[in-house]
Structure 1
């Protein structure tokens, strides 16, 4: 299926049109595409794909991408992240767009009572990023569980997730772990480091920091 998706993407088809061509859902197409990007990003730089990417600092290549949530107050959570330039170049290659034109987006989801898989929730709020390296979401509700994703805003209705956090509970002393495929390292004071990869309620926009 992924081979067909790649061929159709190279023809300039949107995820919705690809789903129609393959008689499947948009969610399944986006899931396959996300897996492709993540797997490509993990390949050794000595492979043929590495020839398409500019040489980087070896130390930077060894550093994993991550998304970190830190609860700063009862109703606030600070989000910081690292997205390697290698992954941005891969996205630029497969989306046929310059990296500078990719619109990064940060989404926060209320996943209370849901085993979140990226396709079974509606985001509470979305922020289009510029040069920020962290963002603070305000207005979180007590007793709720939240999850954050960093991705690319492809169109007004299509979001391409790249990094996903662990679930964070606003009332407990330790993070509530989601049952996803993403590995994490739990830190004290509501800090969760997450490697690579509902109900609508208003969350105030918050603020970013470069």
Structure 2
């Protein structure tokens, strides 16, 4: 029956004319044609997708150091700061020479200062803590801090029998406010209202480096 339908279609017959010629119904003719189309679609070989190959250049090795003397603080939230640092080879060499020890044998630490509302001179923080660092460490997460406080972080060496020796000092950074903290907002409003001549806070830090200590 299908062959007859196809033969009549080639002659230009319409579906209605094919049905009349074959003494059938239009619905049966349409059904036979749809079934034939479905079979042809299923049996047709699938074309494989062709992918153009692209040569990907290898990722360059990330250097272990960028030869910069810097320590950077990035706030991660009201109670958290991310710290990373880098040192020049020449700086590490000078520190090693100063303490007469290889760099890998020196006791490295971070010292964290709360300097909120202070003219910081290196000693007058509200509080400070020391964090001992594993060898080869160049970053640290500092958690459980207070919101809306100003912090400075030193990277340095803790000798066995003397005071902490600062190698790098960060710029001050303030942790974000939380919803319950209104201290600074009140101070700003007092200043705007003329109740005080200047805002009731001051954030500065002293600038000294290892180079001045080694001269």
TM-score, with structure 2 as normaliser: 0.50
1:157, 1:110 → 2: CA distance? 23
1:128, 1:179 → 2: CA distance? 23
Partner SS state of residue 111, structure 2: strand
CA RMSD for the aligned pairs?
3.0
2:81, 2:100 → 1: CA distance? 34
Offset at residue 122 of structure 1 (A): 6.1
TM-score, with structure 1 as normaliser: 0.51
Give unmatched runs, 5+ long, in structure 1: 1-58, 183-194, 198-210
What residue number does 1:181 align with?
Answer: 207
Q: Point out which structure has higher relative CO (alpha carbons under 8 A, 6+ apart).
A: 1
Aligned length: 124
What residue number does 2:91 align with?
Answer: 87
Match of 1:165 among 142, 156, 170: 170
Deviation string for 1:7-61 (max 9, x for gaps)?
Answer: xxxxxxxxxxxxxxxxxxxxxxxxxxxxxxxxxxxxxxxxxxxxxxxxxxxx999
1:64–1:196 Cα contact (<8 Å) kept: no
Match of 1:121 among 100, 115, 125: 125
Give unmatched runs, 5+ long, in structure 2: 1-62, 178-201
What residue number does 2:149 align with?
Answer: 144
Look at both structures and tell me which one has the larger radius of gyration over its CA atoms: 2
2:109–2:130 Cα contact (<8 Å) kept: yes
1:80, 1:87 → 2: CA distance? 17
Partner SS state of residue 206, structure 2: coil
The answer on 1:135 being equivalent to 2:161 is no
Offset at residue 164 of structure 1 (A): 0.8
Deviation string for 1:111-152 (max 9, x for gaps)?
Answer: 112111212236532111122110010011122111111000
